[in-house]
Structure 1
């Protein structure tokens, strides 16, 4: 008996059921990390990179609880009396002096090129990685995935850093993305540059066609100096100086370290300099809990620039004091820095 053709509505119903069954039976590949699909789509659109390759990279990254723990207890949360001894030690000073002497020619050439006193280049590297000895044990990809996709308080910033990392050209990195190591925050190299800083301030100073902040000292030095210069470092300008308050000194609260008043205004409010300073110099004031009581510091434009590297005034003051000790150690204490 010949088959009776199905009516048109019946054929449509059968086709619809077939599509539904196919959809149910087709496996749906869930993203490995929350927001991964959107991130891959953005990077692929911006760079033309393969979504498959980007997904493979991110699939290999792991959320690390130790990273989430570390960011919840930064050293900058300590008072100055506890923070300072971490970085201002005899060994760090002596090693900084030795490091400066060993690389004096290239440091001073790059310092002159960018208008940045070379002892500050050395001090940044000394504070960040103990002159390259401790550049971080975490996989950069793990760090940025963890903080960018699993840490809501700062997810916007770290997701942008993760996106930038995935978008950086190969010649801006010290190796394949999935092999890079750094800090728990995803900073890389001797100067601990975040991906956006590599993109914006990294320098190929040795002319080999790469920006290598792990293996090339010229690239490392020039990138730190370029970062300072691009953020407004004033060649030969002051960084910080002690202030002595009188009994009636006005209480001053600052929101950041940007210079806000002429120094003579702070003098009028009861904060006397302990060394000769330009009374018209734009300045700000930091009040910190030191080992022997409160410390008061005039801070200037170059101090503010250091806080662009790390926004903590404790960090900036540690860099300043380490740089001064290194300069003294190599015989530059009386020269304008």
Structure 2
């Protein structure tokens, strides 16, 4: 792109408010131009078409502010309260009931429990209610060109986004998502979409924005491809004597300790597990103390969706809460003792009011 056109674009966008911001924006545009040239050379995009496309792209200051304060920076007891709410639990039961057939089919095909799939959707977007209102191309461009700490990652995601738009015949200016460019009901990043999204109902579209069948199967496929172990435990609380356990609290999340090794650090394992199980000891901050959990391989798989133990624990506990609520509703509706009690109440009301 010629320098005259480049400066004209900056001035028209209203971004050059100070000399410092002008310098920054010129650097952003230089990075954008280099990216466009790379896409043309590597993937045979038309360079002039990409230049025209990126003239409509906006660098968003609010995205840069938001990414510096992720929710995962909260202590567990505050983070948990965001996701373990009655509305999210009840919404999960409703979503499960409305999509029971697709959830059962996905669980059968991929081995991933319906409750985990539902909880992922609940944590990510409140069952599709909050999918984000940023244009994906704006979010990815902002972080690729104006956020140096993770620019390489987001350059890769921007590359994948343009490729998926070409493959799926989508206008790149239309998809919306989160401030980080996560898309649709399951909040897939573009690279995840290209690798794991599934056309579950065979309509020749992988629609994670509107089609719950595709959403459910895509999440199940993601977990299956990350080595979900059907029928295996996820995590369980443990107790420890003294403070020896602190030596095995490490930031990496992959299970790396045996039962015997945990016990040697005075951690009490009361659950019945296969003797060769690998475990990661995790501490979650409560208001007055720390809660210790033994996390297994399936817990680690959840962290492949979002690399945060807080996130994985929220998903796990929400899945349990949804399952328990769904089971209690089923019990109420199918327990003859409950039905008899309801009839008794109705009979008593009838006697008081003959018109009922």
Aligned counterpart for 1:44 among listed residues 37, 40, 47 = 40
Q: Which residue of 2 aligns with 1:128?
A: 124
The answer to whether 1:30 aligns with 2:6 is yes
Q: Which runs of 5+ in 1 are unaligned?
A: 1-25, 333-337
More helix by share: 2
Q: Distance in 1 between matches of 2:243 and 2:70?
A: 35
> 1:178 and 2:173 equivalent?
yes
Q: How far, CA to CA, are the matches of 2:287 and 2:212 in structure 1?
A: 36
Within the candidate set 78, 85, 89, 2:85 is matched to 89
Mapped pair 1:219 → 2:195: no
Per-residue CA deviation, residues 199-238 of structure 1 (Å, 9 max, x unaligned), is 1111111111111110111111111111111111111111
Of 171, 192, 196, the match for 2:191: 196
Deviation digits for residues 10-69 of structure 1 (CA, Å, limit 9, x no counterpart):
xxxxxxxxxxxxxxxx97432862312221112122332211211111110101010000
Structure with max Cα Rg:
1
Unaligned runs of 5+ in 2: 10-28, 329-356
Structure 1 counterpart of 2:229, from 216, 222, 234? 234
Separation of aligned partners in 1, 2:296 and 2:168: 33
Question: 1:287-314: CA deviations, max 9, x gaps?
Answer: 1112342100100111111111100100
Q: Which residue number in structure 1 is paired with residue 269 of structure 2?
A: 273
Contact 1:171/1:211 (<8 A) preserved:
no
**Higher relative contact order structure (alpha carbons within 8 Å, sequence separation ≥ 6):** 1
- Contact kept? 1:206, 1:216, Cα under 8 Å: no
Between the aligned partners of 2:91 and 2:326, the Cα distance in structure 1 is 11
Equivalents in 2 of 1:141, 1:63: separation in Å?
Answer: 10
TM-score (norm 2): 0.82
Number of residue pairs matched by the alignment: 306
TM-score, normalising length: structure 1: 0.86
